[in-house]
Amino acid sequence: MRKALYGAALVALLGLNVWTGRGQETVVPSTAFTRGVLRAPDAATFRARSYGRYPLLSAEGGGTNFYAGPGGSASNNGLSTNTPWPIDYAVAHAGPSNTIWLLSGAYTTNIEMYVPSGTRGLTVRALTKWGPVFQNITNNNGVFTCDLGRDCSGFTIDGVAFSNCLELAVMFRDNSSSNMTMRNCWVQKTGMYGWVTNHSQSAMQTYPAFGVLVEDDLLESNGIWAPGYNHGIYGGGTNGVYRNNVCRYNGGYGININGHGENCPNNWIYNNLVYSNFASTSGQQVGVYNDSGSSHVSNYTNYLFGNTVISYGNYALRLGDGIFVLTNNILLSTNALGITRDYTNDIIYGSANLAQAQIQYGVGTIIMSPAGFVNSSKGQYWLLPNSPARNAALGTGCGPVDFFGVARSLVDDIGAFQYDPVYAGDARVLDPSPAGGADYWFR
């Protein structure tokens, strides 16, 4: 049903011809995607690139390492994989600046894991990426919750999967907390099956919060989608970084930064693949705006760069209440509008953005048709060697890391992904997700 809504017009726009490599540059066989030896990541460079579906070689994280699992007991000491705690007990008792390692398995107990007040720097991390799966959790306040009035600064959740939970998988909602992180998680079908629908069924929420980091997450098919509510990322606050995520088939926006009356300046949104979300009849995929009806505040700036954003409706982006800088984005929709803005005095600066026609409001646009993706019908939005996105970027318009977490200071190509001959020959099916999830970060 959802994919049928994608529409023949958008399919034609994307150019679904699959490049075979014949008569063009040589590509590395698909066996290049076989994982090699997994190195133990360090605190500064921990990314999904070095963190696959195999146990880490050594523990990484702050303070004392505790362990939790589906068969854990509060009578255990929690200090080894053989003596794990239950997850709710671990969250309540691990203490600040420590790490809880989650064993693989199904976590189905109806628990509500409020991160305790004052638990600064607590990390909850999977031993195996997407090995621990929280499913069918029915509480009304989300699964992992940093709620109002709690100081959860520095809280990190990493490598965990969530499926068919009633409400938010992760909620960072305390405006006194800062530097909270959601990384390497897979969230799907929140609020989708068997639940009474409401407006708290996004994959995750970050408002109001300061300095959050949401990266390397697969967020798909969450929320009620008929009226266009609920999102992949439901964000807000100040100084947030939203990068390297894949957001698709969610009921509302893929990424929605909305302060609901509170200002949301200086958020960076980059290297994200966002497509086929269902926000209203216009099909906006990314929104950065304020729906409170407050007056326009022109001195607040947000940045969107290096994203690949594809809409089945009129608009790839909704912008409102501020200044917006758009650079090196692929912005496709089924007509030429591309962007909608809420206020006539919103200021939009742009350069080196690719679209099928000139984007509204004078944003610098390079016309492209077709897009030059490997095979969008399989979720492969890597660039073909002849894509018009290649060698067209504003070189300095990038973040400090690429989609795979590799440090960089310059880019050549427009969009979430730099051209790579290995990915030009990718034979995987990434859409729909296979049983183990679509691991776009697999290298």
Q: How many CB atoms lie within 10 A of CB 349?
A: 15
* CATH of segment(s) 3-424: 2.160.20.10
**Helices and strands per DSSP (H, E), number in the chain:** 3, 33
Q: Give the pLDDT of residue 298.
A: 55
pLDDT number for residue 300? 82
Token pair 């696959």 is found at: 52
In degrees and rounded to multiples of 5, residue 135 shows phi and psi of -135, 145
Report the distance separating Cα 209 and Cα 64, nearest Å: 27
Where are the domains positioned within the chain?
Answer: 3-424
Q: Centre a 10 Å sphere on the Cβ of residue 39 and count the other Cβ atoms it contains.
A: 13
Give the model confidence (pLDDT) of 72-101 as tens digits: 999 999 999 999 999 989 988 999 999 999
Query: Which of 217-231, 252-266, 323-337, 400-414 has the largest mean confidence?
Result: 400-414
Distance separating alpha carbons of residues 421 and 29, to the nearest angstrom? 10
Dist. CA 6–CA 2, nearest whole Å: 7
Q: Which of 326, 313, 317, 319 is nearest to 280 (CA)?
A: 313
Amino acid at the residue 194: G
Residue 366 φ then ψ, to 5°: -110, 125
pLDDT in tens, 353-372: 998 776 666 567 787 767 89
Computed over every residue of the chain, the mean pLDDT equals: 80
The percentage of residues in the chain with a pLDDT greater than 70, rounded to a whole number, is 76
- The DSSP bridge pattern shows strands 315-319 and 99-102 to be unpaired
Give the Å distances, CA to CA, from 378 to 212, 217, 247: 31, 18, 15
Confidence of residue 44 (pLDDT cuts 50, 70, 90): very low
pLDDT at 411: 97
173-177, 193-197, 417-421, 433-437: the lowest-pLDDT one: 193-197
Distance CA 277, CA 250 (A): 5
State the average pLDDT over residues 279-307: 77
Q: Supply 257's token pair.
A: 């930064």
Predicted confidence band at 261 (pLDDT cuts at 50, 70, 90)?
low
DSSP class of 74: T
291 with 258: CB under 8 angstroms?
yes
* CA separation for the pair 77, 82 (Å, rounded): 10
CB 125 within 8 A of CB 99: yes
**Rg (alpha carbons) of the chain, rounded to whole number:** 21
